[in-house]
Copies of this chain bind each other. A is one copy, B any other.
Amino acid sequence: MRTFETVLAQIEQRIAADGLTVGDRLPGERQLAEQLGVSRSSVREALRVLETLGVVSSQVGRGPDAGAVLISRPDGTLADLLRLNLGLTTMSAREVLDTRLMIERWSAARVTSAPAAMTEALAAMDTAASPEEFVTHDVAFHVALTDAAGNRLLSAVLRALRDALVSNAVEAVRRLGHTGDLQADHRRIHAAIEAGDAAEAVEAVTAHLARAYPGLSLTQNVF
């Protein structure tokens, strides 16, 4: 086992043993190296891994906020993971969009009151001057819906897909040639959620995505 991997294991074990949680600080790189009997390089490689996994954040300087602080931000990692692996393999747009459909249907069924971010995104889309601006708020609308469902794991997955969603959505808007139908869908979704009608909300989300991505329509009603 490589040195930095043992360092990784020991840091992880230490986090569990000491009951460290978000906001707590790890010892400095030099101190950690001395404690574990390894070089600072190996400690740094281990910290780089933890940083990549969204578990620590390193701050330079001095004071209470400096050093390696425990965080919990899996979003960025998931996004990197997807972007890099999508580029390397032949993961299809279909797989991404199916996942999106599944998460959003699930969310629509559970959210009983539209969050502020959703209502704001809806209004912002009305005044969007370009497809890009419209899509920005469009994606924010859907992310807000999913966040409101309260499952952080699924929220993180959808947020990781964000970049892919944006490019897909821009394509869809250009293909449709206008945003009126999409915005009407959004209002229907919003209204169904505010009314607490889960079945209608699910149906509205499904219809919306079917309109934007016709290729999905084959399997959407199997549930």
Contacts and interface: CB of A to CB of B under 8 A. Distances in A.
A173 to B, nearest CB: 24
A81 B99 contact: no
B85 A72 contact: yes
A117 interface: no
Given A15-B87, A45-B45, A109-B223, A153 B52 contact: no
The count of identical subunits is: 2
A129 interface: no
Nearest to A24: B88
Interface in A157-180: 157
A22 B4 CA distance: 25
Nearest to A22: B88
A102 interface: yes
Interface string A199-220: 0001000000000000000010
Contacts of A49: 48-49, 52
Interface string A81-111: 1101101110100011011001101100110
A152 interface: yes
Interface residues of A, number: 51
Nearest to A157: B157
Interface in A22-46: 22, 41, 44-45
Given A70-B88, A109-B223, A98 B151 contact: yes
Interface in A42-83: 44-45, 48-50, 52-55, 70, 72, 74, 77-78, 80-82
Contacts of A105: 223
A12 interface: yes
A112 to B, nearest CB: 11
A143 interface: no
Contacts of A15: 87-88
A198 interface: yes
Interface in A101-136: 102-103, 105-106, 109-110
A80 B99 contact: no
5 contacts: A15-B87, A77-B77, A82-B153, A95-B151, A98-B151
